[in-house]
Amino acid sequence: MKKLIFLILIFSFQAKAEIVTATGTHKHTGNFSPNESCGIALEKAKLDAMRKVLGESISSEVFSSCSEVDGELNCERNQFSLLKLRGDIVDLKTEEPVHDNDEDAGVFICKQTIEANVLPIRQNTDPSFQFDVKLNERTFRSNETMEIKINTSKKMYITIFQWLPYGGTKYNKITKIFPNEKFNKNTNNLVLDNISLKYGTYFPDEIDNKIVDEHLIFVASLREIPWLNEYATYESLKKQFIKSKTLLEIENIDYIIVK
């Protein structure tokens, strides 16, 4: 009986907030006003604070590709949105921004430092509950096949969401692609050891860019959760993470689609 009570306490544990200091810097060549530039520096500082607490890292290769697709600002915002699925900034103190101007190069620089109180939504406190995800590629052309391989440490329920941050009437939402028979005939998401899934990739017909960045959100749960097939925003999905009373493990993976 004591062991059972102990496990329940672990699974329902709410992670404590952590206060960190973070800094964001933005420089530009006149495309933004000084206030807009400092606003971008603030968003970068928030992202840095979230990374420090949640332990997220983004490879230079993926971030570079994302920047080429959406530009530096949108890329930062996309990554910040994904991190907010795993935590939130519940209190924020900002210092006065530091301004600099390289007159010879015509570059305005804004540096913003913040003190942020970051609250992880839920931490996995069970070291035996984990999974690993691998994609066959990180860059795809339209109509190529994406192969997803997932290895699990124990029996768990796996759910995959797809987030397409470039918007449009068809794409401005988060869609559950597994288990979902509209996307894959395999709907058995109770995984014991491993599972392999294949999906066709396609370039969105409403987008004029030559490449787009997309995101997969993998959620492993101890018990099955009746997720919706679609969520209007990542904030809507995050609310479900907060409400969940079962153990969760979450991982995000970025990839690129080339027209």
The predicted-structure confidence for 40-72, as pLDDT tens digits, reads as follows 888 889 888 988 888 765 555 555 566 555 666
pLDDT at 107: 78
pLDDT above 60 for 6: no
As a whole number of angstroms, the distance between CA 254 and CA 153 comes to: 23
Predicted confidence (pLDDT) per residue in 90-119, tens digit: 889 999 999 887 767 667 888 999 999 988
As a whole number of angstroms, the distance between CA 141 and CA 209 comes to: 13
Contact 238, 85 (CB under 8 A): yes
- DSSP state letter for 95: P
Q: Quick one: tokens of 63?
A: 């971030």
Measured between alpha carbons, how far is residue 152 from residues 70, 158, 172, 215 in Å? Answer: 33, 9, 31, 21
Out of 3-12, 52-61, 214-223, which region has the weakest mean confidence (pLDDT)? Answer: 3-12
As a whole number of angstroms, the distance between CA 115 and CA 100 comes to: 22
pLDDT at 5: 37
Average pLDDT value for the chain: 82
Domain 18-120 top-level CATH class: alpha beta
CATH code of domain 131-258: 2.60.40.1930
pLDDT at 70: 61
Sequence ranges of the domains in the chain:
18-120, 131-258
Average pLDDT for 243-247: 79
Contact 54, 24 (CB under 8 A): no
Of 242, 228, 108, the residue nearest 177 (C-alpha): 228
* Backbone dihedral region for residue 139 (phi beyond 0: left; psi -120 to 50: alpha; all else: beta): beta
SS3 10: helix
Measured between alpha carbons, how far is residue 123 from residues 43, 118, 168, 247, 250 in Å? Answer: 24, 13, 34, 8, 10
pTM: 0.72
- pLDDT band (50, 70, 90) for residue 135: very high
Beta bridge partners of 132: 151
pLDDT at 63: 57
As a whole number of angstroms, the distance between CA 242 and CA 121 comes to: 6
Q: Quick one: tokens of 52?
A: 């420090």
pLDDT at 71: 63
Average pLDDT for 134-141: 93
As a whole number of angstroms, the distance between CA 79 and CA 219 comes to: 17
